[in-house]
Structure 1
Amino acid sequence: MIEKMKFLSITGPREDIDRVVDTYLSRYEIHLENALSELKTVKNLRPYIEANPYKEQLASARNLMERFSGTLPKIPANRGESLPGIKEAASFVEQLNEELKELTQKREELAVQIQALKQSKDRVAPFTELNYSLREILGFKFIKFRFGRVTREYYDKINNYVYDTIDTVMFKCLEDPEYVWIVYFVPDKLSEKIDAIYASMHFERVFLPDEYEGTPLEAEHVLADRIQALEAQEREAQETVKTILEEKKEELTGAWIRLERFGVNFDVRKLAACTMHASNNFYILCGWMTERDARAFRKEIEEDADTFCILEDNRGNITSTPPTKMKNPGLFKPFEMYVEMYGLPSYNEIDPTVLIGITYSVLFGFMFGDAGQGLCLLIGGFLLYRLKKVRLAGIISCCGFFSVIFGLLFGSIFGFEDIIDALWLRPQEAMTDLPFIGRLNTVFVVAIAIGMGIILLCMILNIINSVRAHDTEKIWFDTNGAAGLVFYAALASVIVLYMSGNPLPATAVLVVMFLIPLAVMFFKEPLTAMVEKKAKKLHGGVGMFITQGIFELFEVLLSYFSNTLSFVRVGAFAVSHAAMMQVVLMLAGAEAGDPNWGVIIGGNLFVCGMEGLIVGIQVLRLEYYELFSRFYRGSGRAFEPYGKTEKA
């Protein structure tokens, strides 16, 4: 169902807006509208323009909370009365930010130094086998040196084909399965030639800065010691920050909540309007509340001399349309997900949540009738919904309940049909003799009957929605309106009468009740114009109107036929589920009396997962295409409350 809404206009002294929002509106759900748009006929109004004086402090508080949230407690919203004032909160955040700023900068500087030293250590680490002072090597004047690496393949080629033919000394250092790190020395005069030869061997040069002491191994140890010392300083700075936050964590969290709340409250000004009088300026807020909240709010402000509230009952004076807030019993609440996926109902439209909850669960249970597998879906979905609040899990749990019911009706438990007797029928075995058709599986007949009943119900719902929307054509002359309802009800009656052996009454119904509704649907446009007392001009002339009407009528009849047959899939899946479980039992050797329980368990899991997914999708398709398309428009807008901390 959809909550009843009331439109409110709230006003008071301009400087009192923060108190009203914080005291009252933060505890009620109100969907605010732009006051200037709603009050177009009111003169001397202007936007409420004002800059947030605590914008920087709010940004600082958010930054602190994001960076240190792991060390901070969560203060519940009901401690609002213990929060500091807005000025105290802003002052506290400024002081704490300055106190932590120096420590934070120190940590950042240390992190940069540590990273640079680690990079330097990584550069020298592959050359620790070179037992010679790096500083002396870097100071050579007549001998050039090159640090770098080559792949193993080219290292072997250098040794086998090149090394003995050139004037160079090569020293091998670290090696791994892919690369060999080397240092080679060459006379200054031959350096260009030798460098070119090594480059042709894919030598990748590594540049070492002039900052190392001793051998590469000694330099690595020195760098490691320096890194360790800087990391100790970084940890010390971090511990200092943690200590400060530990001492002031409650104050910081409280200040953040106060600043956040003030920021949200302050943003209300974007939707407010102000009077333009020289003195006694007033703010005006407009929005929607549920009928229950509106009554409670008005009662609460009765003793407040500075706050006034007006309820507008005349919809003609309201520019915006009421937002939609659905309120359904807990059992059906998960099914709101499917409604939201299609589109929210408009305010005056029927909320289809209960309908989809019942029909989806029943159809799923019919198509997936197994007491054992249904019980698994029921328990698993229920636990997941209770623990994680996953709405799809709640839907699965409801579907599992009806799967258990139909499993008992079909006499099926984990595919076994010899444990209990069927309370109704066996989907693969039950047959029905029908006139003109012959023998037909009973579940197909029942599925068609269920589908026809659902289609008739949707037509009735469409008429109700059309009455609420004052849509004359859809009420009386549409294929899903009164004409369509009479035609389809007559069709259902004829089928029932013929199948029950009563052809004469069926023929009478066929003659009288078929032709009149078809004629009404054929002439729906001129009939609508006549009822609404509007002139209707036939575009293209009478011939084009008749041709178009014939094709549209043929499409209507075809859609009635296809929509009805679409429900055959309900019976088909009921039969296929039983057939798949027979295959599982056959593969497990159940007929021999000594089944392979591993195959049975695995087969049940496979069928439960795969067919459960397919059945869920097929039922959702039926809901959207065969039910919703007949009566539901889904053109509503969501109720988006400004904010709510708690009810007083």
Structure 2
Amino acid sequence: MDEARTELEARLDGEVHLESESGTEDEPPVKHDNPGPVKPFEPLNDLLSVPKYNEVDPSFLILLTFPALFGFMIGDAGYGVTTFLMFAAGYKLFPAAKEIFVSLMFASFMTFLFGLAFGDAFGYIIFGGHSELAAATGIELFSQIPILFHRAEHLGQVFTIAGAFGVFHVNLGYLVGGYNEYIRHGLKEAFLEKGSWILLQIGVAIAVLASQPIGLGVIGLSIVLIVLGEGAVGVIEIPSLLSNIVSYLRVFGVSVAAVVLAKTVNALAEPLLGTGSLVLTVAGIGVLVVGHIFNTFIKIMEGFLQGIRLHYVEFYDKFYDGGGRRYVPFGAEDASL
């Protein structure tokens, strides 16, 4: 550095200013390298931090799970349309954030699909045996369209799916973390630090569903492996595994709340719509429009905040270090380039 300064000062008549970014020379800068459909999800990842050069870029994983999680939580075809329109407007109005809005349009599309699967649109049952649309129009075809289930009538299934997704998502994180460890330190470290946690869950499942002695043996073995991989602190963190999975039950809460809010708006409007009065009918329509627009904003906030939180906290904790340096082309002033 001193030699470079001396030579530059001699060439430039002393007008030299050099800065050293200490601690960053050994960390190569990172530039995302993902196919087209994944690129809109890169900013969602980078809101937390840029990945390091020697770990998996989670952007593809966000594409796989975030839209589905968002869609399941809202799960209404009508709100799938309204959220899509709002995100499309955001895409036009805020070009600097257009990639994020594209990723959210993916989420709206999944919301629409889940809404069709649940037979829900703006809180009304449109398909299935209890189709309100069939009753209102007299078209029985709507009642014959198969659905998964109506969430308001099958809370237990919504609860089970939320918990099952939590188990899947957390263990996907362990698998990705194992791959990161394999790249950095080899197969042994990958199994000790990540595989041992999966083995612990297998032991619990065996103890609960099959043989308690065998399950307890597997649990004991997994704890030994956790200590070998992470030390005593790993044992202290075992309860956090349960809390991570339980956190996904918020998906159940948001999903049920989405149904309740939509039906509440409809319940407020229906007495006005059934009076036969033009004024009250217009007022009822106004309640529906304003209420469902308000609900759209609420659902966007809940779906985004809860969905991205589960990724950043419960999911990323299993594999993601982050803290990488974004690659900036020479001469560029904006680090987002």
Which TM-score band (shorter chain)? Answer: 0.7 to 0.9
Equivalences for residues 82-161 of structure 1 within 5 A = none
Q: Which residue of 2 aligns with 1:518?
A: 223
How far does residue 593 in structure 1 lie from its aligned partner after superposition? 5.0
Q: Secondary structure at the match of 1:392?
A: helix
Taking every aligned residue pair, what percent have the same amino acid on both sides? Answer: 26
- Distance in 2 between the 1:631 and 1:621 partners? 15
Give, in whole Å, the separation in 1 of the partners of 2:38 and 2:245.
Answer: 26
CA distance in 2, matches of 1:448, 1:491: 15
Which TM-score applies when normalising by structure 1?
0.43
- Tell me the distance in 2 between the aligned counterparts of 1:392 and 1:603: 26
Q: CA RMSD in A?
A: 3.4
Q: Secondary structure at the match of 2:56?
A: coil
1:350 lines up with 2:56 in the alignment: yes
Secondary structure of the 1:332 match is: helix
Find the aligned partners of 2:249 and 2:182 in 1 and give their Cα distance.
32
CA contact (8 A) 1:365 1:399 kept: yes
Aligned counterpart in structure 1 of residue 164 of structure 2, from 439, 446, 449: 449
Equivalents in 2 of 1:597, 1:474: separation in Å? 62
Asked if the contact 1:462/1:630 (under 8 Å) is kept, the reply is yes
CA 1:492–1:570: 2 relative to 1, 3 Å: farther
Structure 1 residue aligned with 2:302, among 614, 618, 642? Answer: 614
> Does the Cα contact within 8 Å between 1:380 and 1:397 map onto a contact in 2?
no
Residue 560 of structure 1: CA displacement? 1.5
Task: Please tell me whether the aligned partners of residues 410 and 426 of structure 1 are also in contact (alpha carbons under 8 angstroms).
Answer: yes
Q: What is the DSSP-based 3-state SS (H/G/I as helix, E as strand, rest coil) of the residue aligned with 2:50?
A: coil
1:327 is paired with a residue whose SS is coil
Taking the aligned partners of 1:463 and 1:590, their CA distance within structure 2 comes to 58
Within the candidate set 178, 190, 195, 1:482 is matched to: 195
Q: CA deviation at 1:614?
A: 2.3
Greater per-residue strand proportion: 1
Q: Deviations over 1:33-77 (max 9, x none)?
A: xxx59xxxxx9996444439xx9xxxxxxxxxxxxxxxxxxxxxx
| 1:374-421 Cα deviation digits (max 9, x unpaired) | 112223323542564323322321111111011111111122112355
Q: Which amino acid aligns with 1:520?
A: L
What is the deviation of 1:552?
5.6
The reply on whether 1:322 has 2:28 as its aligned counterpart is: yes
Q: Which has the higher helix share?
A: 2
Question: How far off is 1:585 after superposition?
Answer: 0.7
Structure 1 pair 643–515 and aligned structure 2 pair: CA distance change class (3 A): same
Is the 2:207–2:216 contact (alpha carbons within 8 Å) kept by the matching residues of 1?
no
In the alignment, which residue of structure 2 is the partner of 1:429?
A: 153
* CA drift at 1:580: 1.0
Question: Which residue is 1:567 aligned to?
Answer: 248
1:424–1:327 Cα change, 3 Å:
same
1:598 counterpart = 2:286: yes
Cα distance change of structure 1 residues 329 and 591 upon mapping to structure 2, 3 Å threshold = farther
Superposed CA offset, 1:174-225 (max 9, x none): xxxxxxxxxxxxxxxxxxxxxxxxxxxxxxxxxxxxxxxxxxxxxxxxxxxx
State the AA in 2 paired with 1:475.
A
Alignment of 1:85-484 (within 5 A): 320-385=26-91, 388-389=94-95, 390=97, 391-417=99-125, 418-419=132-133, 420=142, 423-430=147-154, 441-470=156-185, 475-478=190-193, 481-484=194-197
1:531-570 C-alpha deviation (Å, 9 max, x unpaired): xxxxxxxxxxxxxxxxxx4x862x4331121111111111
Gapped regions of structure 1 (runs ≥ 5): 1-35, 38-42, 56-266, 272-318, 432-440, 499-504, 527-548
CA distance in 1, matches of 2:185, 2:250: 36
Is the CA contact (8 Å cut-off) linking 1:473 and 1:524 kept in structure 2? no
Question: Judging changes above 3 Å, is the alpha-carbon distance between structure 1 residues 509 and 375 closer, same or farther for their aligned structure 2 residues?
Answer: farther
Q: Which runs of no fewer than 5 residues in structure 2 stay unpaired?
A: 20-24, 126-131, 134-141, 276-280, 333-337
**Structure 1 Cα separation of the partners of residues 241 and 116 of structure 2:** 33
- Report what 1:638 is aligned to: 326
Report the number of matched residues.
304
Q: CA deviation at 1:494?
A: 5.6
Q: In the aligned structure 1, how far is the partner of 2:310 from the partner of 2:184? A: 25
**Counterpart in the other structure of 1:97:** none
Contact residue 344 and residue 634 of structure 1 kept, 8 A: yes
Deviation, 1:623, is: 0.8
For residues 94 and 265 of structure 2, what CA distance do their matches in structure 1 show?
A: 33
In 1, are the aligned partners of 2:5 and 2:18 still within 8 Å (CA)? Answer: no
CA distance in 2, matches of 1:429, 1:519: 45
Aligned partner of residue 335 in structure 1, secondary structure: helix
